[in-house]
Amino acid sequence: MIRFLKYAIGLLAVLYLLTGVTQVRPGELAVVRRFGKVVAEWGPGLHVGLPWGMDRVNRVPVDLVRRVAVGYQAGLEETDPNIPAGQLLTGDHNLVNVQVVVDYAVRGNDVVDYLVQQEQVDRIVARITESLLAEWVAGRTVDDVLILGKVELPRFLVQHAQRRLDPYSLGIDVQAASVAYLLPPDEVKGAFEDVTRAQTSIATNENTARKDAHQTQQRAEKERYKIEQQTAHYVRDRVELARAEADSFTKRVQQYHQLRPKNPDILATIWWDEMGKLLRRMKENGRVDLLDNHLGPDGLDITIMGPQAKRK
């Protein structure tokens, strides 16, 4: 009996000593407090300390993202129906119901600070977030809140929440924020939906108008380019024709000076040659008719033009 008692006492002593062995899992940090005073911080692994009663080990998951919902709670009865939680006043004196979710994680270097205030961390985060919500909503119109809130409000919360939480030494980092609920009160929801539909219609019409204007501008640019090209071709053709006529005239003048000493009638020959060209062009254009219209008292007079022939 005495031997059994000794074995039992020895087993209890071993079990008691084993309470000083702590397994810290990956993603955790352990804070060791000896008689209430923090004496060590342990990372992942197997650690041995003093038995229970002398050492107290608190394991804190530092890779766990904690979430706090702040604001309006849809579907729940409110303690004060006149002022529901999360119902805020905008800058133009309209009411909106807002609920946001803030994600935070324990900062590894400040795990002791978190452990000391662990019980009130969520409450402090909620109060700070509520004040930021009221500040952001009060500084904007109801249209801006409803249209831009889901994009701009999370950025605003992440940017300012950490700065306001740091003086409390909570040992946490704000990771992200999101808008879970953002709508006007039920009493005016229909009117706001009508406004939203009207704004959507306006935006659609504006986009259609911009698209039509862009297409019209493209067509005008194509037409302008076509006219410019046609004008350039016409100018080039006219310039080349004028140069050709100038070269031809220069050659005829040179020919005239060369042949005049030998043929005094060369000028008349050149004149009749040019008149022949003119008559051919007039015929092509329908401006030459029967020679009977050009018979005068002295014979054929081609310097008198008859009536212009009508084109069919």
Kindly give the interhelix angle for 121-138 and 142-165, rounded to the nearest 10 degrees: 140
Q: Is residue 92 domain-shared with residue 163, that is, in the same domain? A: yes
Would you say 165 and 125 are in contact if contact means Cβ atoms under 8 Å apart? yes
The kind and range of the H/E element at 136 are helix 121-138
Would you list the DSSP string of 205-256?
HHHHHHHHHHHHHHHHHHHHHHHHHHHHHHHHHHHHHHHHHHHHHHHHHHHH
Q: Is residue 195 domain-shared with residue 168, that is, in the same domain? A: no
pTM over 0.75: no
In sequence order, what are the residues at sequence separation of 6 or more whose Cβ sits closer than 8 angstroms to the Cβ of residue 243? none
**CB environment 180-218: b (16+ within 10 A), e (fewer):** ebbbbeeeeeeebeeeeeeeeeeeeeeeeeeeeeeeeee
Confidence at residue 254, expressed as pLDDT on a 0 to 100 scale: 83
Q: Is residue 241 domain-shared with residue 152, that is, in the same domain? A: no
Q: Is residue 162 domain-shared with residue 96, that is, in the same domain? A: yes
User: What CA–CA distances, in Å, run from 67 to 126, 165, 175, 176, 226?
Assistant: 10, 15, 10, 9, 65
**Six token digits for residue 291:** 């020679």
Q: Are strands 37-42 and 295-296 parallel, antiparallel or unpaired?
A: unpaired
Question: Other C-beta atoms within 10 Å of 72: how many?
Answer: 23
pLDDT, tens digit, 9 for 90 and up, residues 214-268: 999 999 999 999 999 999 999 999 999 899 988 888 887 887 788 778 777 777 7
Q: Is residue 130 domain-shared with residue 200, that is, in the same domain? A: no
**CB environment 102-138: b (16+ within 10 A), e (fewer):** bebbbeeebbbbbbbeeeebbebbeebbbebbeebbe
Rg of the Cα atoms in the chain: 50
Q: Is residue 276 domain-shared with residue 254, that is, in the same domain? A: no
Q: What is the C-alpha to C-alpha distance for residues 74 and 96, in angstroms, rounded to an integer?
A: 13
Give the residues across from 300 on adjacent strands: 295
**CA 62 remoteness from chain centre:** 35
Q: What is the C-alpha to C-alpha distance for residues 54 and 33, in angstroms, rounded to an integer?
A: 8
Q: Which of 184, 204, 236 is the last residue of a domain?
A: 184
Q: What is the C-alpha to C-alpha distance for residues 312 and 308, in angstroms, rounded to an integer?
A: 13
Q: Which of 184, 211, 231 is the last residue of a domain?
A: 184
Here the CATH number for the domain that contains residue 179 is 3.30.479.30
Confidence at residue 194, expressed as pLDDT on a 0 to 100 scale: 77
Q: Which of 61, 87, 110 is the last residue of a domain?
A: 61
Q: Is residue 73 domain-shared with residue 147, that is, in the same domain? A: yes
Residues spanned by the domain of 284: 267-312
Q: Is residue 57 domain-shared with residue 129, that is, in the same domain? A: no
Would you say 34 and 55 are in contact if contact means Cβ atoms under 8 Å apart? yes
Q: Is residue 168 domain-shared with residue 276, that is, in the same domain? A: no
Confidence at residue 138, expressed as pLDDT on a 0 to 100 scale: 93
Confidence at residue 77, expressed as pLDDT on a 0 to 100 scale: 47
Residues of the chain with pLDDT under 50: 77, 312
Closest by alpha carbon to 173, among 114, 104, 108, 111?
104
Look at the chain and report how many structural domains it folds into: 4
Confidence at residue 260, expressed as pLDDT on a 0 to 100 scale: 76
Q: Is residue 81 domain-shared with residue 172, that is, in the same domain? A: yes
Closest by alpha carbon to 266, among 278, 277, 254, 276?
254
